[in-house]
Amino acid sequence: MALSTTAATRPHRPWVKWVRLAVSAVLLAVLITKFDADDLLPDDRSLPGALAFLCSGIAIMGLSFLLASWRWQRVLAVYGAQVPLRTLLKHYLAGQFVGNALPSTIGGDVLRVSRCARDVGPTEVAFASVVIERLTGFFALPVLTFVGFLIEPSLLEKGRSWIAVVIAGSTLAILGVILLLAGSPKLAGRFKDHENWMRYIGIVHVGVDRLRRDPRDAWGALGAAVAYQLSVVIAVYCAVHTIGLTISNASILAFVPAVAMVQVLPISLSGLGVREGTLALLWHPLSGGVPTAQSVAVGLLWYAMTVIVSLAAAPAFVFGHHDRDHKVTAPVAGSS
C-alpha cells in the first residue's frame, strides 16, 4: 500500500520476480490439490446470470480506477497541485497496466511518480502524493472490515474471524506509527529543507502536516479512499455471485478488505496464491463451510477483473503523457 522511499533508485532485480512467481505457483498448486472441482459451481447456476455478474464486476473494477485517481487528486491538492482528473486517470491506468498486466520489479507506482512529476514539477511532490495516497488505504480497509463486523456481529463467533480483526488492527497500528513519525517536526520534518534524497522524507512530512492542520482536506482524501476500496469490495461481490457462492454481504465486507491488506505483501506475484489462500482460510468456517474451490475461484476472478481493466489501459502506458495543457503550482516548502 505504500511506496518505498528508495523504489525509484533501486537497481533492477530480475530474480525477485522469479522468486515471487515461484511462491505464487506453489501456493496455487497447494490450494488446487485441496479442492474438488465438483464444488466449483452449483448445479443450478445459470450462464446468463453468471455473465451478468461478471460483466458488472469488470465495469465496477473500472470505476474503482477512476475513484483511485480521484483519491490521488485529493492528495495532490494538499500540495497545491491542481492536476485534471483525466490526466491522473491516464497515469493511474498506465501504472495499473505495468503492475498487473506486465508484472515487473519496477512497479506501477514508480511509473506514476515519474509521469506525475512532469505535471507538478518537483519529483518529490509526485513521490509524496503517491505515498500518502497509498497510506489512506491503511485507514479505509480496516474501517470497512470493522463495519462488516458491526453489520453482522455474529461473524465474530466464527473460528477464524479473529485473523481479520488482527489484520485490521495491526494495519491501523502501523498507520499510527507511520503518521507519528512522518508528522513529527523533529523526525521527518527535519529533512524538508535537505537537498539530497532525504528531502523525499521531508516532503511526506509536509503533506502529513498539512492534512493534520486542515481536517477538511484530510477527510476528503480519506473519504475518496473509502469510496475506492468499497468499489473494489463490490466488484468482488460480483465475483462471488458469478460463481453462485452463497455468503452474506457482511461476510464479503468484513473479510475482503482483510484479504486486500494481506495480498500487498511483496512475497508473491500480484498477490496470486496469497489472495486465494487467505480467502479460503477466512471463509471456510462460514455457515455451511465455503469450499476451497469457490474461494480460489473468487480470488482468481478478482485478479482477472483487475487484469482485464488493466489491459484496457495499455494505450495509456504505450503512448505516455504528452499533453501539457495545464499549469500546476505545487509549493514544497513550509509546514502549513
Contacts of residue 181, defined as CB under 8 A and 6 or more positions apart, other chains included, come to 187, 188
Which of these ranges, 51-55, 180-184, 247-251, 284-288, has the smallest mean pLDDT? 284-288
Instruction: Cite the DSSP H helix spans in 243-333.
Output: 249-263, 274-283, 292-312, 314-318
Residue 133 has pLDDT above 50, yes or no: yes
Task: Check if the beta carbon of residue 62 is closer than 8 Å to that of residue 232.
Answer: no
CB burial of residue 165 (10 Å; 0-12, 13-18, 19+): middle
The whole-angstrom separation of Cα 59 and Cα 106 is 27
**For position 19, what pLDDT does the model report?**
82
C-alpha separations of 268 from 10, 24, 100, 262 in Å: 19, 5, 12, 11
Task: Tell me: pLDDT of 290 over 60.
Answer: yes
DSSP string, 130-160: HHHHHHHHHHHHHHHHHHHHHH-GGGGGSTT
Question: Given this model, what pLDDT does residue 289 score?
Answer: 79
Confidence of residue 13 (pLDDT cuts 50, 70, 90): low
- pLDDT tens digits along 220-243: 999 999 999 999 999 999 999 999
- Per-residue pLDDT of 35-47, as tens digits, reads 766 666 665 667 7
Q: How many Cβ atoms are within 10 Å of 26's Cβ, its own excluded?
A: 12
Percent of the chain with pLDDT over 70: 85
pLDDT at 102 > cutoff 60: yes
Q: What is the pTM of this model?
A: 0.86
User: In the chain, where are the structural domains located?
Assistant: 62-310
